[in-house]
Structure 1
Amino acid sequence: MTATRPTSTPDFVGYPAARRGIRALLDGRPALHRHPVPACPEWTVTDLLAHLVEIAGRVLGRHGGTVPAAPAPDSTAPELLDRWDDVGRELDRRLAQAGGRSGDLMVMDAFTHELDLCAALGVAPPAEHVAQAPSLEVLVRGFSGEVTALGLPPLRVRSTDGLTWTAGEGRPEASVTAPARDLCRALAGRRSLAQLAAMEWSEAPGPWLPAFGWGPFTPPPSAGA
């Protein structure tokens, strides 16, 4: 994958920003804590928070910290938010010590789920977010690997704010263009095949649509938010 983009935000900056964003969505709204999250089928808000706490613990362990015990199944959303902050503050410190580029998958996961919560709760996502650029880099990298693995022609991926990537190997044979936020949702399995095909393509998108199902991501059967 090749790219034209500015230097990314360090993970120890992007990660606490996602934690703050998610806390701001949920603080003082206890009635929503069992609310379903459509982008994560079968998950409620508390299920999503438990996942974020678990991922933070795993990454902390990989960086030399003590892996915390898994949250209790009956943990409340406020308890999970506090637990995530406790683990996250130690993790922020260790990410900074590691140079700020060793938690990019975790940042992408947290940012993606922040957008999932915005969609689930009917709240407009923030106009700007420091975790967006590093998250998009991770997502394009994974997509690029799938383009190569499937033997597809290289594809230029463009955001409307001027960032460009080449997904796959070689000279791009087509391009897809969308706002950065929409690219994040598309590359993280939050857009249906119909929504993906409706983006701005320079060629018929059919050959590249299978590559949007990569890693843990699968396009939903119906329109996603």
Structure 2
Amino acid sequence: MTATRPLPAPDFVGYPEVRRGVRALLEARPGSEHHPVPACPEWTVADLLAHLTAIAERVLARHGGTPPPAPDRPLGVPALLDRWDEVGAEVDRRLAAAGGQSGEIMVMDAYTHELDLRAAFGVPPPAEHAAWAPSFALLVRGFSGSLAGRGLRALSVRTTGGSAWTAGTGRPAASVTAPAYDLYRALAGRRSLGQLAELAWSEAPEPWLPAFTWGPFTPPSGPGA
């Protein structure tokens, strides 16, 4: 008998876990819809939830679904959570039917914003999360493209726990090391240039710092969250 490895889990599997985590966080904090989210300086909690719902609706429409009618007034947190769950459950089904070949950006965005909400309320990240690995891998790929696109030398991205990735092309010319959470937040535009420079670098970090601006991500001018 030939042993076979199980197929890797599709990237969207962490999406329901994000929705559950965000719901639990906010249901424990009623009346928080106007609470600011420092990692997204212009957003309140309600603004962030409206963004997550809008992204889910966009993905649903892209996969042939029909989002529910647009509300005639801004929704509060409980209604936004319900709408996100309604749309998200249908997104889950359609992505599963499509073989799990889509949804990684949506999951990374949602998980990153779950971390934003946790930071806003001083709640630590979950010890384990189904969205962690695919989201981190996507961020490393994006950062890698940023390095290559700027003609910068490759960089070894390492966690203090011993995991390592090569970002960019060719042999790494230097390394940057930090706890896994801090690396995630750095790659997702949640750490300032000053904070990035304070990570453990094997060489002077300045040549690589511009690459942390990529895609939708730009290091904040003030302290990161």
Same structural fold, with TM-score higher than 0.5 when normalized by the shorter chain: yes
**Greater RCO between the two (CA within 8 Å, min separation 6)?**
1
Cross-structure match for 1:133: 133
> How many angstroms apart in 2 are the aligned matches of 1:200 and 1:155?
13
Q: Aligned AA for 2:47?
A: D
> How many angstroms apart in 2 are the aligned matches of 1:40 and 1:71?
24
Residues 96 and 116 of structure 1, relative CA distance in 2, 3 Å threshold: same
Cross-structure match for 2:88: 88
Cross-structure match for 1:200: 200
Residue 125 of structure 2 corresponds to residue 145 of structure 1: no
> How many angstroms apart in 2 are the aligned matches of 1:117 and 1:212?
22
> How many angstroms apart in 1 are the aligned matches of 2:8 and 2:181?
16
Please list every run of 5 or more consecutive structure 1 residues that lacks an aligned counterpart in the other structure.
1-6
Q: How does 1:182-193 map to 2 (within 5 A)?
A: 182-193=182-193
Residues 209 and 189 of structure 1, relative CA distance in 2, 3 Å threshold: same
Asked whether the 8 Å contact 1:8–1:133 carries over to 2, the reply is no
Across the aligned residues of Structure 1 and Structure 2, the Cα RMSD in angstroms comes to 1.6
Asked whether the 8 Å contact 1:9–1:130 carries over to 2, the reply is no
Residues 189 and 83 of structure 1, relative CA distance in 2, 3 Å threshold: same
Deviation at 1:73, TM superposition (A): 4.4
> How many angstroms apart in 2 are the aligned matches of 1:79 and 1:23?
11
Q: How does 1:1-225 map to 2 (within 5 A)?
A: 9-225=9-225
> How many angstroms apart in 2 are the aligned matches of 1:33 and 1:123?
17
> How many angstroms apart in 2 are the aligned matches of 1:71 and 1:160?
46
> How many angstroms apart in 2 are the aligned matches of 1:33 and 1:86?
20
Residues 61 and 144 of structure 1, relative CA distance in 2, 3 Å threshold: same
Please list every run of 5 or more consecutive structure 2 residues that lacks an aligned counterpart in the other structure.
1-6
What do the CA deviations read for 1:16-49 (whole angstroms, capped 9, x no partner)? 1111110011014222111011111111000000
Percent of residue pairs bearing the same amino acid type:
69
Residues 55 and 71 of structure 1, relative CA distance in 2, 3 Å threshold: farther
What do the CA deviations read for 1:146-172 (whole angstroms, capped 9, x no partner)? 101111001111223333221111111
Runs of 4+ in structure 1 off by over 6 angstroms are: none
What do the CA deviations read for 1:63-90 (whole angstroms, capped 9, x no partner)? 2212444455420100000000001111
What do the CA deviations read for 1:163-216 (whole angstroms, capped 9, x no partner)? 322111111111111222111100111001111111111111110000001111
The structure with the largest alpha-carbon Rg is: 2
Instruction: For residue 165 of structure 2, give the secondary structure of its aligned residue in structure 1.
Output: strand
Q: Aligned AA for 1:132?
A: W
> How many angstroms apart in 2 are the aligned matches of 1:8 and 1:111?
19
Q: Aligned AA for 1:188?
A: A
Asked whether the 8 Å contact 2:12–2:102 carries over to 1, the reply is no
